[in-house]
């Protein structure tokens, strides 16, 4: 069975974006600092990848205050879940076809 690699989503080709999406699929919401810690990236690196995923409408932001400190949480959107699931399914097919 041939797998069309063009069906892989370019938005998820980067390891940081793949990590962000994986964390958000596994958790309802994830705080910015937790993502930074999980992925072991700098503020600037994380922010640029979050912005790219937000631009595609794959993730969304929830901002609030805890006491007087700002708290930013991210969550995956419905279209983000669909796109990520499709990307992962294509990767799985590619792997299965190599065995």
51 contact partners, CB below 8 Å, separation of at least 6: none
Q: Dump pLDDT digits (tens) for 46-84.
A: 999 999 999 999 999 999 998 999 999 999 999 999 999
- pLDDT surpasses 90 at 97: no
49 in Cβ contact with 20 (< 8 Å): yes
Confidence of residue 96 (pLDDT cuts 50, 70, 90): confident
**Edge-first strand listing for the sheet containing 69-76:** 30-31, 69-76, 59-66
- CATH fold for the domain made of 10-94: Arc Repressor Mutant, subunit A (1.10.10)
The residue extents of the domains of the chain are 10-94
Beta-bridge partner residues of 69: 66
Q: Could you tell me the two tokens for 63?
A: 């901002």
Q: Where are the beta strands (DSSP E) in 10-58?
A: 30-31
pLDDT at 81: 97
pLDDT in tens, 1-48: 677 788 899 999 999 999 999 999 999 999 999 999 999 999 999 999
- pLDDT beyond 80 at 98: no
């Amino acid at each position: 069975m041939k797998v069309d690699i063009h069906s892989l989503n370019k938005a998820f080709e980067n390891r940081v974006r793949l990590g962000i999406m994986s964390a958000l699929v596994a958790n309802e919401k994830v705080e910015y600092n937790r993502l930074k810690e999980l992925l072991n990236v700098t503020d600037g690196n994380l922010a640029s990848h979050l912005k790219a995923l937000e631009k595609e409408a794959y993730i969304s932001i929830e901002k609030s205050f805890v006491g007087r400190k700002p708290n930013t949480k991210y969550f995956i959107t419905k279209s983000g879940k669909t796109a990520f699931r499709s990307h992962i399914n294509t990767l799985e097919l590619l792997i299965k076809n190599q065995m």
